[in-house]
Amino acid sequence: MEKRLSRWGIGPRTFGPSLLFAGTAWAVTRVWPEVFLVPGLNPGIRTAGLVLIGLGFSLWLAGVVTVMRAYNRDELVTTGPFALVRHPVYSAWITLIFPGLALWIRSWPMLLVPLLAYAIFRWLIHREDEYLEQRFGQSYREYRARVNEILPVPRWRGRVHRTGSSH
């Protein structure tokens, strides 16, 4: 078996560039608001942004605590935030925190940050998935088949049997 994956996974390689881009997007929006602020948004949009940020940090913290404990015990976790999404730490940033920040500061360049982070995530995540499949085998394959990768919502579709019927 290959050497153990870092406890940080692809996080630094995904979020280093994403955070750099986010900082740049924020800075250009502050310097040139007439160019980069989204005009005409309802003031409640900032509140929606704060709600997304709060939900995101809650998911991120729960994911970090859970994955660190599991890493130390060398076990596959499929409960808690991991029952909702396979990659809650990445999901929190890509689907909640970055979009929430974009809404909060009303910056259209910030709207590009989750897209960039997701593109990098998709480019790199195969490394974690391959490692977890090699380390945990069928348990991980079954978990992967039933839990969304990045969207923190349950799968509602029924299971389809090979005969084509579902229940």
- Mean of pLDDT values over 44-48: 91
Q: Which has more pLDDT, 53 or 6?
A: 53
- Residue whose entry in the numeric block shows the structure tokens 């509140």: 47
Look over the chain and give the mean of its residue pLDDT values, rounded to a whole number.
88
Q: Evaluate if residue 2 carries a pLDDT over 90.
A: no
For residue range 7-16, list pLDDT tens digits in order.
788 888 888 9
Q: Evaluate if residue 128 carries a pLDDT over 50.
A: yes
Q: Which has more pLDDT, 2 or 142?
A: 142
Q: Evaluate if residue 1 carries a pLDDT over 50.
A: no
Q: Evaluate if residue 166 carries a pLDDT over 50.
A: no
Please tell me the predicted confidence (pLDDT) of residue 162.
41
| The amino acid at 15 | F
Residues 6+ apart with CB under 8 A from 18: 93, 98, 113, 116, 117, 120
Query: Could you give the 3-state DSSP secondary structure of residue 166?
Result: strand
- Mean of pLDDT values over 59-70: 94
96 C-beta neighbours (distance < 10 Å), count: 22
Please tell me the predicted confidence (pLDDT) of residue 161.
41
Q: Which has more pLDDT, 89 or 165?
A: 89
